[in-house]
Amino acid sequence: MTLEDYKKTLELCFRCSRCKWICDWDIKSARFSSICPSLKRFLFDAYSAQGRIDIARALLTGDLDYSDKLLEIVYACTLCGGCDITCKRSKGEMEPLRVLYELRAKCVADGKGPLRQHLRFAQSIEEHHNPYDEPHEGRFNLIGRKSTPRKQNGIGYFIGCTAAYKVPRIAKSALSIMNKLGMNVSILGSEEYCCGGPLYRVGLTEKAKESMQHSLEAVKKLGLGKVVFTCPGCYDAFKSIYPKLGGKVDFEPVHIVDFLARTLDQQRIKLKRIRQQVTYHDPCHLGRFMDVYEQPRKILQAIPGLKLVEMERNRDNSWCCGAGGGVKSAFGEFALWSANERLEEAQATRSDTVVTACPFCELNLSQAANASGKTLQVRDILELVDEAITF
């Protein structure tokens, strides 16, 4: 698909502003009523979905030309999908999120995008197979697993770059839980490369295809029937992006939160008491992209002594942590600002801890908490489960 394929959305947008706010009937306060981080941060309408739709339409008709400011507007968006959810509730046939993706692809096709910061992490992915300029051979050093065990039961664990290099405690917790459940899990070892999701999200479609081809071949070599993910971005890449790029995913991708919720249904997990009040942050790629909302809440509510208090914006109304869509690399201040907005909402629940299910969300929220001096703890749900599980 290209931007031209979404002319219907470009022509039918009548600037109703639904893309800017959470759904009317869910609003509890003016303070936490916005859904678009980009618009709230930069204030001009061009930074909203309807503003970017205007830009896309004008680029196609030739009424607008590229400039540095235009590219900044296009890429200062986390692609969180909040606009897509709210728009579709009033006009179901609209595709604002697809327009945002294809607008970036057009920028690249026209030789104008992405931004230099994105080209930097694209080069790192090409040279080191991760976006963090870390040596590939160090991918598994922090979690203590360097080699790929022989296939036992056809289940693999795709660790992902952020968990491997930035928050290895998430990967350690995942491996610990699966070990306690008696699962013989294969990892891809040196064959695990970046999934390519970050490349696709900034419009580098052909580069993303190269990553996809390698990842699918690596899974095929192990003969895996199921691959478990802790990173929603990687999960989205395998389950949603790869088919769009023509990739054949002939195994079951599953996020570990969904897997653990099913295991709870089978009464295979016993959890000890943890006395704590927490609030849950829905990652965009897990919630709005994959409709995984109730599973993490089910897990948290199954831990004895744990009290879950919801933020005003939750589930498909969730406020983005600010890190996605290439924003963390190109607009670091904006990413932390958005995370701070979320942390203030979390503080309003009087909870001790913000729990999430995404390494990238945990990384950005933790950095924002440290930078602002907030006392809120940020933890991945797997850390709590690993602490609570009794066998």
Domain boundary, last residue among 63, 93, 109: 109
The reply to whether 232 and 293 lie within a common domain is no
Look at residue 153 in the predicted model and tell me its pLDDT: 52
Average pLDDT over residues 36-47: 98
Mean pLDDT of the chain: 95
Average pLDDT over residues 43-64: 97
Structure tokens at 337: 């600002």
89 vs 227, more confident: 227
User: CATH number of the domain that 306 lies in?
Assistant: 3.40.50.10700
In a domain, 124, yes or no: no
Q: How many structural domains does the chain have?
A: 3
Domain boundary, last residue among 109, 131, 164: 109
Look at residue 268 in the predicted model and tell me its pLDDT: 78
The answer on pLDDT for 147 being more than 60 is no
The reply to whether 143 and 257 lie within a common domain is yes
User: With the C-alpha atoms ordered 39, 91, 232, 299, is the resulting torsion angle positive or negative?
Assistant: positive
Residue whose structure tokens are 């190109």: 330
The reply to whether 251 and 277 lie within a common domain is no
The reply to whether 283 and 362 lie within a common domain is yes
Predicted structure pTM score: 0.96
Domain interval for residue 329: 270-388
Strand partners, 276: 306
User: CATH number of the domain that 256 lies in?
Assistant: 3.40.50.1860
Write the pLDDT tens digit of every residue in 262-310.
Answer: 998 887 788 999 999 999 999 999 999 999 999 999 999 999 999 999 9
The reply to whether 144 and 246 lie within a common domain is yes
Look at residue 92 in the predicted model and tell me its pLDDT: 75
In a domain, 166, yes or no: yes
% of residues, the chain, pLDDT over 90: 88
What whole-number distance in Å separates Cα of residue 292 and Cα of residue 272?
24
Average pLDDT over residues 128-145: 87
Write the pLDDT tens digit of every residue in 162-184.
Answer: 999 999 999 999 999 999 998 88
- Of the pLDDT bands very low, low, confident and very high (cuts 50, 70, 90), residue 58 is very high
The reply to whether 255 and 279 lie within a common domain is no
Average pLDDT over residues 38-54: 98
% of residues, the chain, pLDDT over 70: 97
The reply to whether 276 and 342 lie within a common domain is yes
What whole-number distance in Å separates Cα of residue 315 and Cα of residue 111?
37
In a domain, 253, yes or no: yes
Domain boundary, last residue among 234, 262, 290: 262
Look at residue 108 in the predicted model and tell me its pLDDT: 98
The answer on pLDDT for 69 being more than 90 is yes
The reply to whether 280 and 251 lie within a common domain is no
What whole-number distance in Å separates Cα of residue 318 and Cα of residue 280?
10
What whole-number distance in Å separates Cα of residue 54 and Cα of residue 50?
6
DSSP code per residue over 51-113: HHHHHHHHHHHTS----HHHHHHHHS-----HHHHHHHHH-TT--HHHHHHHHHHHHHHTT--
Q: Are 136 and 142 in contact (CB under 8 A)?
A: no
Q: How far is CA 208 from the centre of its chain?
A: 16
Look at residue 91 in the predicted model and tell me its pLDDT: 75
Look at residue 90 in the predicted model and tell me its pLDDT: 80
The answer on pLDDT for 151 being more than 60 is no
Residue 250 makes CB contacts below 8 A (sequence gap 6+) with 220
